[in-house]
């Protein structure tokens, strides 16, 4: 099952990376980059690195891509050309999404059965995960650098807004 997940999302990441390079419009390239980042998150998750998968989705697919799109919009990348859409995407998109949904559902259900969990919560008394360990270190000994980083990001966003503001 892990081999199937790796092959599906590895090929998806490579194809989305090639699509990123082939696109002429920067917003379409940014959307392809989001697909690459989400595919990498699934690959991290399949390797047992849940924290890296969550960080990949939250930090890269979420925050960084929002900043990329924000910069693209501020630079006024040009007029959006209205198109009818890609015929390849309409032919492959829905069956591909259904296949990925089926594979992920099978993987989640088979893992739940292997662990003996009959409910969604499961009984994990006494067990600690790597997310618990990382969050404990992050919010105890590394709390100050974590908060300083968030303030620096906020200052950078405010600086971008001030620089992009047009005088009335």
Buried/exposed code over 17-32 (b: 16+ C-beta within 10 A; e: otherwise): eebbeeeeebeebbbb
More confident residue, 33 or 79: 33
Could you tell me how far CA 129 lies from the centroid of its own chain? 21
Could you tell me the pLDDT band of residue 126, with boundaries at 50, 70 and 90? low
Residue 125 binned pLDDT confidence (cut-offs 50, 70, 90): low
Q: Are residues 139 and 73 in the same domain?
A: no
Domain assignment of residue 95, yes or no:
no
Residue where a domain stops, chosen among 77, 103, 119: 77
Whether 77 has a pLDDT exceeding 60, the answer reads: no
Asked whether residue 110 is assigned to any structural domain, the reply reads no
Same structural domain for residues 73 and 135? no
DSSP one-letter code for 15? H
Query: What is the count of structural domains for the chain?
Result: 2
Q: Are residues 71 and 132 in the same domain?
A: no
> 51, 61, 43, 58: which is closest to 137 by C-alpha?
51
Q: Which domain holds residue 138?
A: 128-168
Domain endpoint, select from 60, 77, 94: 77
**Given pLDDT bands bounded at 50, 70 and 90, which one contains residue 149?**
confident
* 10 and 70 housed in the same domain: yes
Task: Summarize the confidence of residues 108-123 as an average pLDDT.
Answer: 58
Band of residue 14 on the pLDDT scale cut at 50, 70, 90:
very high
Within a domain: 117: no
Is 138 part of any domain? yes
Identify the domain boundary among 9, 42, 77.
77
Q: According to the model, what pLDDT value does residue 127 have?
A: 59
Residue 119 belongs to some domain of the structure: no
Q: Is residue 49 part of a domain?
A: yes
Q: How many helices and strands in the chain, by DSSP H and E?
A: 7, 0
Percent of the chain clearing pLDDT 90 (strictly above): 2
Q: Within a domain: residue 99?
A: no
* Assigned domain for 32 exists: yes
Domain shared by 67 and 133, yes or no: no
Here the CATH number for the domain that contains residue 23 is 1.20.120.1200
- Whether residue 78 is predicted with pLDDT greater than 70 in this model: the reply is no
Instruction: Answer yes or no: do 68 and 5 share one domain.
Output: yes
The pLDDT value recorded for residue 79 is: 61
């Amino acid at each position: 099952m892990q081999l199937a997940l790796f092959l599906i999302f590895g090929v998806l990441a490579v194809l989305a990376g090639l699509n990123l390079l082939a696109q002429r419009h920067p917003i379409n390239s940014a959307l392809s980059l989001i697909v690459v980042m989400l595919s990498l998150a699934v690959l991290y998750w399949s390797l047992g690195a849940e924290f890296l998968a969550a960080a990949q989705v939250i930090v890269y697919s979420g925050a960084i891509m929002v900043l990329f799109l924000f910069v693209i919009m501020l630079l006024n990348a040009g007029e959006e050309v209205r198109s009818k859409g890609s015929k390849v995407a309409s032919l492959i998109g829905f069956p591909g999404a259904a296949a990925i949904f089926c594979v992920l559902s099978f993987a989640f259900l088979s893992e739940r059965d292997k662990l003996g969990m009959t409910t969604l919560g499961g009984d994990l008394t006494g067990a600690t995960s790597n997310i618990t360990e990382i969050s404990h270190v992050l919010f105890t000994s590394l709390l100050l650098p974590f908060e300083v980083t968030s303030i620096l990001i906020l200052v950078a966003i405010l600086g971008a807004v001030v620089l992009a503001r047009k005088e009335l």
